[in-house]
């Protein structure tokens, strides 16, 4: 019997493709963030509001990943921003190759910031690099304040955390959600994570998030 040392990264095909995406984005001076959350956290609503509020200030393009339908891309296109839908037909995460195909369909020369809205899932997408500048995790208050503790991987890897739907915490809504617990648990995993409590519906907290986006553009 012969033992052969391999030392090969198991997802190397994906990582090589992610590197290509990163080069393509750099050539066009685009910044890119990979948004990851559970289904229903409000990623698309956040993007729609962000695109509308930053119209004229930041040129945003979107890549949408869903198991079925182009509902999300249609919602983005209604803002006049370009959006490419990837339908994964069951796959639980986006791959770098799928994102490469979508990037090539976007008018990158006319854009500054690309958001990739990954398939709703807090686990699988965190293992697949797409060539992004960073990951953004979105958590809505209705999901509960124990998520950073239960899904540490994505909170440890993300540059920013958007805690969405904070409008549900006021006005006597019956949601037990301790924002301080989320802050403490997320920071324990990731000292540098930027945390933005927001409501994409009412606009509360969104200006700090917009400042962060503009700060990211200044880094390119």
Partner 1 sequence: MHEMAMAQSLVDAISEEARKHGRPIRAKMSCGVLNTVNDDVLSFAFETLAQGTPCEGMQLQIEHKLLQATCKACGCVFAVDWSGVRCPDCGADDFELLPDAPLLLEQIEFEGVDDGEGEHRQEDPGRQ
Cβ closest to partner 1, residue 46 vs residue 116: 116
Cβ 86 to partner 1, closest distance in Å?
A: 15
Contact positions vs partner 1 (CB under 8 A): 1-14, 91-93, 95, 123-128, 149, 152-153, 156-157, 188-191
Residue 30 or 118: the one with the smaller Cβ distance to partner 1 is: 118
Strands 31-37 and 83-87, by their bridges, are unpaired
**Pick 19 or 78: Cβ nearer partner 1:** 19
| Closest approach of partner 1 to the CB of residue 13, in Å | 6
Q: How far is the CB of 188 from partner 1 (least distance, A)?
A: 6
**CB 1 → partner 1: shortest distance, Å?**
5
Rounded to whole angstroms, how far apart are CA atoms 57 and 207? 13
Q: Which long-range contacts (CB under 8 A, 24 or more apart) does 146-153 make?
A: 146/181, 146/185, 147/38, 147/122, 147/182, 148/182, 148/185, 148/186, 148/188, 148/189, 149/185, 151/122, 151/123, 152/189, 153/123, 153/126
Q: Looking at beta carbons only, is 45 or 100 nearer to partner 1?
A: 100
């Amino acid at each position: 019997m012969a033992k052969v040392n391999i030392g090969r990264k198991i997802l190397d095909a994906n990582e090589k493709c992610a590197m290509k995406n990163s080069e393509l984005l750099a050539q066009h001076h685009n910044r890119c963030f990979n948004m990851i959350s559970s289904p229903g956290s409000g990623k698309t609503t956040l993007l729609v509001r962000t695109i509308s509020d930053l119209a004229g200030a930041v040129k945003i393009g979107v890549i949408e990943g869903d198991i079925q339908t182009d509902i999300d891309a249609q919602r983005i296109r209604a803002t006049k921003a370009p959006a490419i839908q990837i339908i994964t037909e069951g796959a639980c995460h986006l791959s770098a190759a799928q994102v490469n195909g979508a990037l090539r369909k976007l008018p990158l020369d006319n854009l500054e910031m690309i958001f990739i809205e990954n398939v709703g899932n807090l686990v699988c997408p965190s293992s697949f690099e797409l060539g992004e500048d960073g990951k953004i995790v979105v958590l809505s208050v209705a999901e509960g304040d124990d998520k950073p503790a239960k899904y540490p991987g994505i909170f440890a890897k993300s540059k920013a955390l958007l805690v969405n739907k904070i409008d549900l915490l006021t006005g006597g809504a019956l949601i037990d959600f301790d924002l301080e617990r989320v802050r403490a648990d997320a920071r324990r995993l990731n000292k540098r994570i930027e945390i933005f409590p927001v409501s994409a519906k009412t606009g509360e907290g969104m200006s700090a998030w917009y400042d962060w986006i503009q700060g990211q553009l200044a880094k390119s």
